[in-house]
Each structure stands twice: as structure tokens, then as C-alpha cells.
Amino acid sequence: MGGVVLNKLRQPESGFSWFYQRFLNNHITILLLNIFLLLLVVNELVQNAGLLDPVWKFIGITAPAIVVAGILYYVLDPFVHFMERRLKLKEGLAIAIAMLVTIAIIVVIFLMLIPFLTKQTTGIIAALPQFANDVMRKLSTMNQKHHWVSAANLAEVNHRVTTYFSQRGWNILTGTLSSLGNVVTTVSDWIITLITAPMVLFFMLKDGAQFPHFVSQVVPTAYRERFVIMLDKMNAKVSSYVRGQLTVALCVMIIFTAGYSIIGLPYAILIGLIAGPLNLIPYFGSAIALIPAIIMGVVTSPSMLLGVVIVYLIEWVLETQVLSPLIMGNSLAMHPITIVFVLLASGKMFGLIGVIFGVPGFAVLKVLVTTAFEWYQEYSALYPDVFPPEDRLGEP
């Protein structure tokens, strides 16, 4: 009788132990609970987004200077190390020389190139109505041969297109005068960036190598080594991408400018210089840069259009078969389809900024997620085939 009573008293304890072992003391359950708590925190942040307004304003003010300084850091860092190792210059002197050379190049570009580009841009905007008339005249000639639409409809389209481009060109030239406040704000933002970016750049070049170890001081000791390795991987991905993309964009700009100048395309230098920054958009940049050249070729002559196509094909072969494999390689280790989806998603969410910085941002996020998953594989004991138990490490 006493044994039966004792067994009845033990049954709840046995059932609770079974529940504890199966559900509560379980790695997957703990992981799901952590994810649930993380989602709750994210939901609270979204529901109280107004509390983060000062943070976003601070980021909006400092981000342009940090981005500019970061890009210049990846460009100048090899130059600084070269002067330190080969020329035996002190670190401060090497950084000062690199920054002075960069400032001199930027000043020369602004003094020599900006007036020319301003003149070219003003000329092409003023010529937009004439371009539209030329295109419509060519379409009218082709329509007389093939009878695609009636003459009245074609005349109406011609009138609307000419009116649109006339108004559009005038708005581009005079629009900034009607929004003087925006102009003042933009100029002030540029001034802040120009003042702060060199200071940020100097300290990046001086203390950039110690940054991972400095940040790792807030990380628990057991995870510091893995954290520093993760930051080094992120830095390697971003640096190779930035340097490679800038080099390829410069080469593409030279190829397009030289090619369009050789065939005599109107506004060849302007169109070629536009192609360089547009090439920073992976896969789509060169195609987008082709649009103004195609329009100019159509307006000029069929032979000019053929020349534009030939120049583009030459550039495409050189970029895809020589420049990108030689300079970029497979530094990001990302499938082309993945890059396309990243561009579409980041462009939809963040616009042009997302298109330009989406791929390196995804590469950084990929390193972060991969490192976190490797840590989970190692410490969850759910992947013995990937990380064998410690008692087996010493076995032959």
C-alpha cells in the first residue's frame, strides 16, 4: 500500500522530468525562444520607431563623411603601406603625403573637368528639343515607308514629345532656383562632409589596423578571437570589392570615352564619364550607360549608331572576359543570380544608394550570418559530423 502511494507521488515528478528533458532542456527549443525574444525586441523597436529618430538623424549627418572616408581609406591604404615599407617613411608622413596627393587630384579635377562638364551638360539639355525633333522626323520618314500610324497621330506625338522636352529642359535649368532652401541644405551637407571626411580618413589610415582589436574589448573573452576573425573577413570582402569596382569603373570610363571619341559621337566625353560611375552598379551599369549613347547615335546617323554598338560590344568583351576576372576575380564568392536578387531588393528598399552599396552590404551580412551559424554548429552539439565531440579529437 505504501509503495503504491509512493509511486503515485513520483509520477508527476517523472512526467515533469520527461517534459524538461524533451522540451525545456533542448538546444532547438532554446534557439527558438531566443529567436522569439529577438523578434519581440525588433517589434517593440518598430512600434516605438520615434524613439530612434535622434539616432537616425545622427547617422544621416555622419554617414556621408564616413562613407567617403571609408572609400578613400580602401584606395589609399595600400599606397600608405607601400611608402612605409619601401620608402621607409614614418606613418604620419606617409598618411600626410597620401592625403595631400588625393586633395591635389580632386582640386585639379574640379578646376579642369567641372567647367567642361557643366558646359557639356547645359548644351545637351538645351539641345533636347532638337534631338526630339530629329527622332520624330526619322520616325516620320520610316512611317511613310511602312505606314505604321496615321500622319495625324504622328504629328500629335511629335508635338507632345517636343513640348515635354522643352519644358523638361527648362525645368532642369531653372528648377534649383525655385527650391533655394534645398540647395542651401545640400550645400551645407556637402560642406560638413568635406570638412569632416579628411579628419575621419586620417584616423582610419592611422588606427584602422587596431580597430578590430579595439572593438573586441566589449566582446566576452571567449569569443574575442572569433569576433576579430569575423571583422577581418568583412574588411577583406569590402576592401577587395571597393578597390576592384573602382578600378573596373575607371577602365570602363576610359574605354567608353576613347571609343566614343574615335567614332566622333557628339558629347562623347560627357557620355563616357557618365559610364564610369554607372558601372559601379553590377551587371546593369554598362547597359544603363549605353542608353544616352544609343539615343545620340539614332539622332546622328545609322553609321554612328552602328559605331556605338561596336564600341559597346568591345567594352563588354573587355570588361567581362579580361577586366572583371583579372581585377575582381570571385572576391565576394557570390553567385550572379544572388547578386541580381540583392540588387533588386536593395534598390527597391533603399533606391540608388541600395543599388550601389547593396552587394558589399550583403557580403558583410553574409560573413556575420555565416560566423554566427558556425558558432551555433560548434556549441549546439547538433552537428557532430561538422564539429566532432572533444573526446574524439585526440583519436587517430
Q: How high is the pLDDT of residue 176?
A: 44
Q: How high is the pLDDT of residue 310?
A: 93
Q: How high is the pLDDT of residue 144?
A: 65
Q: What is the pLDDT of residues 46-64, one digit of tens each?
A: 777 677 677 777 777 788 8
Nearest of 165, 178, 205 to residue 82 by alpha carbon = 205
Highest mean pLDDT among 62-71, 226-235, 251-260: 251-260
For the chain, what is the mean pLDDT?
Answer: 76
Q: What is the pLDDT of residues 146-191, one digit of tens each?
A: 555 555 665 666 666 666 555 555 454 454 444 444 545 555 667 7
Residue 286 in contact with residue 279, Cβ under 8 Å?
A: yes
- Centroid of chain to Cα 177: 31
Query: Quick one: 246 exposed, middle or buried, by C-beta within 10 A (0-12, 13-18, 19+)?
Result: middle
Q: How high is the pLDDT of residue 383?
A: 66
Is 70 exceeded by the pLDDT of residue 113?
A: yes
C-alpha span between 146 and 140 (Å, rounded)? 10
For residue 372, give Cα distances in angstroms to 22, 187, 215, 388. Answer: 25, 42, 17, 18
Q: How high is the pLDDT of residue 254?
A: 92
Is 50 exceeded by the pLDDT of residue 325?
A: yes
Long-range contact pairs involving 273-279 (C-beta distance under 8 Å, separation at least 24): 273/113, 273/117, 276/249, 276/250, 276/252, 277/249, 279/245, 279/248, 279/249, 279/252, 279/253, 279/319
Q: How high is the pLDDT of residue 255?
A: 92
- Confidence band, pLDDT 50/70/90 cuts, at residue 359: confident
Q: What whole-number percentage of the chain has pLDDT above 90? A: 5
Mean pLDDT of 358-384: 79
Residue type, 138: K
- The whole model's pTM is what? 0.69
- Confidence band, pLDDT 50/70/90 cuts, at residue 281: confident
Q: How high is the pLDDT of residue 13?
A: 47
C-alpha span between 352 and 31 (Å, rounded)? 36
Instruction: Name the grid cell of 132.
Output: 526630339
Q: How high is the pLDDT of residue 311?
A: 92
Instruction: Name the grid cell of 261.
Output: 571619341
C-alpha span between 296 and 271 (Å, rounded)? 10
Higher pLDDT, 376 or 366: 366
Higher pLDDT, 109 or 258: 258
- The helix or strand, by DSSP H or E, that contains position 356, with its residue range, turns out to be helix 336-380
Is 80 exceeded by the pLDDT of residue 395?
A: no
Is 60 exceeded by the pLDDT of residue 10?
A: no
Is 50 exceeded by the pLDDT of residue 393?
A: no
Q: What is the pLDDT of residues 285-299, one digit of tens each?
A: 778 888 888 888 877
Residue 113 in contact with residue 269, Cβ under 8 Å?
A: no
C-alpha span between 324 and 160 (Å, rounded)? 43
Q: How many CA atoms lie within 13 A of 188 on its CB side?
A: 7
Highest mean pLDDT among 52-66, 77-91, 350-364, 372-386: 77-91
Q: Which residues lie closer than 8 Å to 234 by C-beta, 6 or more apart?
A: 363, 364, 367, 368
- Centroid of chain to Cα 322: 22
Higher pLDDT, 49 or 275: 275
C-alpha span between 306 and 312 (Å, rounded)? 10
- Confidence band, pLDDT 50/70/90 cuts, at residue 8: very low
For residue 6, give Cα distances in angstroms to 12, 13, 20, 170, 367. Answer: 11, 11, 21, 95, 56
Judged by average pLDDT, the poorest of 254-263, 286-295, 307-316 is 286-295
Q: How high is the pLDDT of residue 388?
A: 53
User: What sign does the dihedral 210-216-218-224 (CA atoms) show?
Assistant: negative
Higher pLDDT, 169 or 198: 198
Mean pLDDT of 306-321: 89
Judged by average pLDDT, the poorest of 65-79, 251-265, 345-359 is 345-359
Q: How high is the pLDDT of residue 5?
A: 45
Nearest of 253, 278, 283, 280 to residue 268 by alpha carbon = 253
